[in-house]
Amino acid sequence: MASAATARAHTNIALVKYWGKKDAELRLPFTSSISMTLDRFYAQTTFEVLPASGESEFILDGAVVRPAAAERVMKYVKLLQRRFSVSGNFRIVSENHVPMSAGLASSSSAFSALAAAFAKAYELEVSREELSRMARLGSGSACRSVFGGFVKWEKGTDDASSIAIPLVEAPTIDLTLLAVEINTKQKLVPSTVGMRRVVETSPYYPTWVEDTERACTLMEEAIRAEDFTRIGQIAQQSALDMHALNLTARPGFTYFQPETLLAISTVEQLNAAGVECYFTIDAGPNIKVLTRAGNVEEIVSRFKQVLPEVTIAASSFGPGVEFLR
């Protein structure tokens, strides 16, 4: 048996959003979703099976994580051990190369890398589809980070069928994503809480489900056609729909901050001036701008004018899970 393995997984950003679970334990979504795996941001994780005398521990970015903070990760690994009938204490050493406050879903790369390292350390013969299922149990969006490029998370009907599949793993379309970090304050409504509140109380949630499934179909068509404009339009509308839905919960809430609205206005002004770009926003105040490589310099310059303290990181398409050892 291999005793240790190291895997790297890149984070992803949903272009057609996932917002709401029909099964919280299995992390089964109400809708399918489509994402873009990013090359700049990733997690690198080593999973080591320890001798009988060793104690399980989780080390993140060089520091041992205290038991209370490590509970989610430890419970996840034990869940996988039961599923695959393996055992033993373990050591997890992970490096997170994703800005924690930038709204880039660091859990997507973290749990994807952990699932992959776990599978290899225990010498499990699993397909990439099975690996995506394993990652989903840690974090829903993590199932998409198993693959590179454009990825679809099929909602499925149960644990076996809710998996990610690659749409185009090595896209040639000219598309750059700018992660614009404009507000680093902690969210008042955690994503899990907000998601549950919307599902349980918004009278418009059924409409969201129908619209999102339709958006997935349209986005797949746009991706196949390498239609940048349609990709951007569909992604932007999906983000607006999700954030509008939050306002219809009981009580309603928003992740937008004043800087978010200023950033949206900046994108609209750039478009009006002939600089084609579109925004998408996850469960937080920070936005991501989709554009072509030739527009990056002008967009960054404009954002620096209106939001001088803004931090912007450019990314393109990243690969799926990679094994480093």
**Residue 22 burial by CB count (10 A; 0-12/13-18/19+): exposed, middle or buried?**
middle
What does the pLDDT read at residue 2? 61
**180-214 as b/e: b if 16+ CB within 10 A:** bbbbeeebebebeebbebbbeebeebeebbebbee
206 and 152 share one domain: no
| 286 in any annotated domain | yes
| Among candidate residues 85, 80, 161, 67, the one with its CA nearest the CA of residue 116 | 80
The pLDDT mean for the chain works out to 95
Spatial neighbors of 225 by CB under 8 A, at least 6 apart, are none
The sign one gets for the Cα dihedral 185, 187, 191, 192 is positive
Dist. CA 95–CA 253, nearest whole Å:
33
State pLDDT tens for residues 143-173: 999 999 999 999 999 999 999 999 999 999 9
Comparing CA positions, the residue from 157, 122, 160, 146 lying closest to residue 10 is 146
Work out the average pLDDT over 137-142. Answer: 96
Residue 267 has pLDDT above 50, yes or no: yes
Distance CA 152, CA 143 (A): 9
Rg of the chain on CA atoms, in Å: 20
pLDDT per position as a tens digit, 176-213: 999 999 877 778 899 999 999 999 999 999 999 999 99
**Is residue 320 in a domain?**
no
Number of structural domains, the chain?
Answer: 2
CATH number where 206 lies: 3.30.70.890
Same domain, 91 and 144: yes
The residue range of the domain holding 242 is 176-315
Q: What is the CATH number of the domain that holds 52?
A: 3.30.230.10
Which strand (E) or helix (H) includes residue 213? helix 205-224
Alpha carbon distance 207, 212 (integer Å): 8
Q: How much is the pLDDT for 188?
A: 86
pLDDT at residue number 187: 83
The region that residue 207 occupies, defined by phi over 0 for left and psi between -120 and 50 for alpha, beta otherwise, is alpha
